[in-house]
């Protein structure tokens, strides 16, 4: 027997389009982001995948992505649990700044370290390690038990909260996880064995 968990990063947001650091700020999806979410839902439908439960963050770009996927699946009445543990990494003082402007202010190398190091947080914000420290316990105590009870579970979240989750699930090193790209609106389907180990990974792009 296998147990199914699907992870999806929200579709393109207005601030993704404007090249802004977003973090816990709450911009909406763009038209492209809406289309990406709907396309993800159609891919899941083509695979015959439906859900018993969904989890998402407290931010509307992830919530709307979840909603649009469920609309494509005809599952608009599904129970969706929202929790800030699944929120994007908090970019602190960088939130709302254009990435090019941030490079001018602090320098290319410093901004690169904040964006791509594992354990160096931006001023007032979280590192990827900090993000994992809230994502991992929530996943282990709230999400994984639902999967292992036999439910098909959808998690609609963010690039870095999902990167932290994938790191734990796939056993990636800090260097490996920093190179991990998670595309907007593209579902990743995990089939887990009874021991919670991954049996199969399928990216529906």
Closest CA to 87 of 26, 152, 176: 26
176 given a catalytic annotation? no
The CATH number covering residue 148 comes to 3.40.50.1240
What are the tokens at 32? 């492209």
Total tally of structural domains belonging to the chain: 1
CB atoms within 10 A of CB 123: 10
User: Does the annotation mark 88 as catalytic?
Assistant: yes
Of 36, 72, 88, 126, the active-site residue reads 88
SS3 37: helix
Q: What is the mean pLDDT of residues 20-27?
A: 95
Task: Please report the pLDDT score of residue 190 as a whole number.
Answer: 98
- Which residue segment(s) compose the domain that 22 sits in? 3-203
Kindly tell me if the per-residue pLDDT of 116 is higher than 90: no
Of the candidates 10, 36, 72, 158, the residue annotated as catalytic is 10
CB neighbours of 55 closer than 8 A, spacing ≥ 6?
A: 80, 81, 82, 83, 86, 142, 143, 153, 154, 155, 156, 157
pTM, whole model, 2 decimals? 0.96
87: pLDDT strictly greater than 90: yes
Going from the C-alpha of 47 to that of each of 43, 101, 189, the distances in angstroms are 6, 43, 10
Q: 138 and 86 in contact (C-beta within 8 Å)?
A: yes
Band of pLDDT at residue 178, cut at 50, 70 and 90: confident
Q: Tens of pLDDT along 11-20?
A: 999 999 999 9
């Amino acid at each position: 027997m296998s147990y199914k968990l699907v992870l999806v990063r929200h579709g393109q947001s207005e601030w993704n389009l404007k090249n802004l650091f977003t973090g816990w700020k709450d911009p909406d999806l763009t038209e492209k982001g809406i289309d990406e979410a709907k396309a993800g839902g159609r891919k899941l439908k083509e695979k015959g995948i439906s859900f018993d439960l969904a989890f998402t963050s407290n931010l509307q770009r992830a919530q709307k992505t979840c909603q649009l996927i469920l609309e494509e699946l005809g599952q608009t009445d599904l129970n969706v649990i929202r929790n800030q543990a699944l929120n994007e990494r908090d970019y602190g003082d960088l939130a709302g700044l254009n990435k090019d402007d941030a490079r001018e202010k602090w320098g290319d190398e410093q901004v690169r370290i904040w964006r791509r190091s594992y354990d160096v947080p931006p001023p007032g914000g979280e590192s990827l390690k900090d993000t994992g420290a809230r994502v991992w316990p929530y996943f282990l105590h709230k999400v994984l038990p639902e999967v292992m009870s036999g439910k098909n579970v959808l998690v609609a979240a963010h690039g870095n909260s999902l990167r932290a989750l994938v790191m734990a699930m796939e056993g990636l090193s800090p260097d490996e996880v920093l190179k991990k790209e998670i595309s907007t609106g593209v579902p990743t389907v995990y089939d887990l064995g009874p021991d919670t180990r991954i049996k199969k990974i399928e990216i529906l792009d």
